[in-house]
Structure 1
Amino acid sequence: MSKLVVLVCGGGNGAHTAAGLSASRENTESRVLTLFKDEAERWTNMMKENDFTVQVNDPNTNKCTYIKAKPKIVSKDPAKVVPGAHLIIFTMPAFAHPTYFEAIRPHLEAGATVVGMPGQPGFEFQCFDILKDKAKSCTIMSFESLPWATRILEFGKTVEILGAKESLMGSIIKGKTKPSHDPLQSMQKIVGLRPVLKQTSNYIEPYLLTKAIVHPPIMYARWKDWDGKPLDKEPLFYQGVDEMGAKYLSGVADELMETAKAFQKKNPKLDMSHVIHLTDWYRQDYAKDIKDKTNLKTCLHTNAAYDGLVHPMIEKDGKFMPNFKYRYLVEDVPNGLVVTKGLALIAGVKTPYTDEVLLWCQKTMGKEYMVDGQLKGKDIKDSRCPQRYGYNTIDDLVSIL
């Protein structure tokens, strides 16, 4: 088989990891497209004098493996890296997806596979909207989350994998042109043995399996009654979830399950058998990292991959204030919670937990998505809910398949 050409789009934690791993795989060429400021130049210059290293940590043994492999090219010019790419992986935040879709469109070749990792809810809607007919000649994939918990140790030089999921669900929409390399096998080659990549029945399943709904309920429960006074230290995020946080998080997850059931009942083409509750997802995907799998709260508290992760905060004079402009809200609300709310409306499912969290989030963000229980606020245009793209019925959703 010909060499697999992988283009990693983005410059953050996930992009560093995907670029390093793909560069290390046999018969694979790794490229990077990063459009943000001078990231491409900085990354390129760093690799002139240094190795590029992926540090893989095993939280169970405390041992590290070091993978050293450089991507062939890091550029901000899509004309230099898109042509000839078989696998184009989006690893940047969802708010940046439109910019990258626009950038790759003129150079995208038939038979390529475009991958959201994670795609976040609404990835396919936006993909078809911006790439138009070119999307129909490509395979479109989207995974529910990143395969790993990962962080950059030194930009352009070293990235650390804190933990890998056991399995990861992803959807595939086949294009009119057959890809030269099997999309799922190619992605498995890049990520390695873990996680095991599994294909969902359709593109809606990952929306309802989405982890984009995790952060807003945790933020809501922690800060809804905050008195506005600065804190002496940064509170733990996942491992700091209390009973109320677990209640709202589980409640939103319950509503996703009800939406999945409603879709399958109303249209058998939308098989939702892969949609599981968030608690079960944690037990499955972090099986080796979680010590106590009793319930959702214990799964969060004893997940080694979450050790030490704190709420997004702003420090000033040794005190800490919550950062409500962090991606946990600004990305996961318009590209997560608003999308799943839109799906619930189409399915005819009531969502009291989602509504309560969403109303607080949009007020805190200074946005308006939901008004009187409907997605008709002035900022819907900045979300990826199905209604924005003209998908208002189950038949509309099925038309993409």
Structure 2
Amino acid sequence: MPGDVILCVCGGGSGAHALAGLAVQKGVEVRVLTLFEDEAKKWNRVLQKEELTVIINENNRPPREVKAKPKMVTKDPEEAIPECDVIIFTVPASVHEIYFKAIAKHIGKRTLIVGLPGQAGFEFQCRDILGEKASLISIMSFETLPWECRLREFGKHVEIMGTKMYLSGSLIRGKSVTKPPLMTLQKFLGAQPMLRQSKHFLETIIMCYSFVHPVIFYGKWKDWDGKAVTEAPLFYHGIDEATAELLQKCSDECMAVAAAILEAAPTKANLSDVKDIHHWYMENYKNEITEADNLFHSITTNKAYEGLTHPMTESSVGVAPDFSSKYLTEDIPMGMVVFRGLAEVMEVPVPYTDMVIEWCQEKMGKEYLVGGKLTGKDIQSTRCPQRYGFTTLDAILTGEKST
């Protein structure tokens, strides 16, 4: 990797630690920007005494250890951002706006900005906050983190439990010349996961399948009587066939919106690779699923999901579902509502999506959908295209706001 590449990792969690450590080992100048409380000060105290250790677990191989020291860890955007070639967000989508606003004026016109993961609406938010500069930079958004990782000791020790085989992301290429985006990121990460570029950024929004967690919540708790239960039920492996059917119906609605966009703009929005959720599971978890004959079995026999339970709150009488979990607080405003915005622009009815959003927003104490329209009082906390003034397909595709 050329030594002249400067990377800023935004965040202070497990993903930021893992990415910073791996990229330093590739000869990259790594700067870490964390705006949360005193994380920068805490991390710097550790780095004065020792390097960051990344433990990497790989299939059928003994764990290997990487030691690295970022060039800087800071909470000051003016210190971290100037001259950066690549800026990668490894923070929850709910705080992306805070980071965008903090770094906006310091971003150079040849910069590549990456959401890892970006989650639905990342591009809309970036274009809105950066304004004209957004047409110059390049924007990438990936569906998930590249690894399953755990932060064992802040600033000191992170463990990569597993690495995905493939990772898909979208690219909106800016007018200014940048280093080859996908190749640059691949060199940061190493051989795996193998990065793939989707044909269009809307493919990543539609195929993030942000309805999965909310639908599983709905399926388990829609008839709940409000009484505490003795233990947290299994999340994925605890679904019933009715929940699997609802997941498939929401997936069918995603396919219908993709088809409508493709029909309306066949040369501008190639969504021909959009797959239904069952096919997506079979492709991404083919080595983990023992029965793939239908969606229900593809989820309930997926070894990657073993032991995972519903997020719960504890009390003296037992446990109850946690409706403040990120499975709802992120996947609804930064996921399902974004997709719902596309459906509204395309005038494609999505009754099952609506049903789940309406149930979840009531549990969350929020209001997004009102009378079948995205006009609720909490729309400004979402990343749906309507929030940013992208209310036509042309505006969504070009980033030029509707007039």
User: What range is the shorter-chain TM-score in?
Assistant: over 0.9
Task: Summarize the alignment of residues 15-30 of structure 1 with structure 2, pairs less than 5 Å apart.
Answer: 15-25=16-26, 27-30=27-30
The residue that corresponds to 2:314 in the other structure is 315
CA–CA separation in structure 1 for the residues paired with 2:320 and 2:371: 31
Aligned length: 398
Question: Which deviates more from structure 2 when the two are superposed, residues 86-95 or residues 139-148?
Answer: 139-148
| Residue 258, structure 1, aligned to residue 279, structure 2 | no
Alpha-carbon distance, 1:164 to partner: 2.4
The residue that corresponds to 1:96 in the other structure is 95
The residue that corresponds to 2:11 in the other structure is 10
RMSD: 1.9
| Residue 209, structure 1, aligned to residue 179, structure 2 | no
Alpha-carbon distance, 1:329 to partner: 0.8
Give CA-to-partner distance per residue, 1:261-317, whole Å, 9 cap, x none. 111011112110121112222222233333333333333333333333222112234
CA–CA separation in structure 1 for the residues paired with 2:124 and 2:184: 24
Local SS of the residue matching 1:229? coil
Give CA-to-partner distance per residue, 1:299-341, whole Å, 9 cap, x none. 3333333333222112234732221112111111011000101
Local SS of the residue matching 1:88? strand
Give CA-to-partner distance per residue, 1:226-283, whole Å, 9 cap, x none. 1212222222222322223222222211211111111101111211012111222222
Percent same amino acid at aligned positions?
Answer: 47
Local SS of the residue matching 2:380? helix
The residue that corresponds to 1:337 in the other structure is 336
CA–CA separation in structure 2 for the residues paired with 1:318 and 1:73: 48
Which of 220, 238, 242 is the aligned partner of 2:240? 242
CA–CA separation in structure 1 for the residues paired with 2:80 and 2:397: 33
Which residue type is aligned with residue 185 of structure 2? M
Alpha-carbon distance, 1:162 to partner: 2.8
8 Å Cα contact 1:166-1:286 kept in structure 2: no
CA–CA separation in structure 2 for the residues paired with 1:325 and 1:359: 15
Which residue type is aligned with residue 244 of structure 2? A
| Residue 55, structure 1, aligned to residue 55, structure 2 | yes
Local SS of the residue matching 1:152? strand
The residue that corresponds to 2:345 in the other structure is 346
Task: Summarize the alignment of residues 149-228 of structure 1 with structure 2, pairs less than 5 Å apart.
Answer: 149-179=148-178, 181-228=179-226
Which residue type is aligned with residue 310 of structure 2? H
Q: TM-score, normalised to structure 1's length?
A: 0.94
Question: Which deviates more from structure 2 when the two are superposed, residues 233-242 or residues 91-100?
Answer: 233-242
The residue that corresponds to 2:145 in the other structure is 146
Local SS of the residue matching 1:231? coil
Unaligned runs of 5+ in 2: none
Give CA-to-partner distance per residue, 1:53-103, whole Å, 9 cap, x none. 222334x54843333223222111111211121110011111101110011
Which residue type is aligned with residue 150 of structure 1? C
Which residue type is aligned with residue 144 of structure 1? E
Question: Which deviates more from structure 2 when the two are superposed, residues 96-105 or residues 290-299?
Answer: 290-299
| Residue 271, structure 1, aligned to residue 270, structure 2 | yes
CA–CA separation in structure 2 for the residues paired with 1:16 and 1:284: 29
Question: Which deviates more from structure 2 when the two are superposed, residues 142-151 or residues 322-331?
Answer: 142-151
8 Å Cα contact 2:333-2:383 kept in structure 1: yes
The residue that corresponds to 1:386 in the other structure is 385
User: Judging changes above 3 Å, is the alpha-carbon distance between structure 1 residues 312 and 34 closer, same or farther for their aligned structure 2 residues?
Assistant: same
Give CA-to-partner distance per residue, 1:145-196, whole Å, 9 cap, x none. 22222222222222232332222221111112111x2111111112222221
| Residue 114, structure 1, aligned to residue 135, structure 2 | no
CA–CA separation in structure 2 for the residues paired with 1:370 and 1:354: 11
Question: Which deviates more from structure 2 when the two are superposed, residues 370-379 or residues 246-255?
Answer: 246-255
Q: TM-score, normalised to structure 2's length?
A: 0.93
The residue that corresponds to 1:370 in the other structure is 369
Alpha-carbon distance, 1:2 to partner: 4.5
8 Å Cα contact 2:167-2:194 kept in structure 1: yes
Which residue type is aligned with residue 119 of structure 2? Q
Give CA-to-partner distance per residue, 1:96-131, whole Å, 9 cap, x none. 011100111121112010011111111111101111
Local SS of the residue matching 1:89? strand
Local SS of the residue matching 2:288? coil
8 Å Cα contact 2:126-2:134 kept in structure 1: yes
Local SS of the residue matching 2:129? helix
8 Å Cα contact 1:113-1:140 kept in structure 2: yes
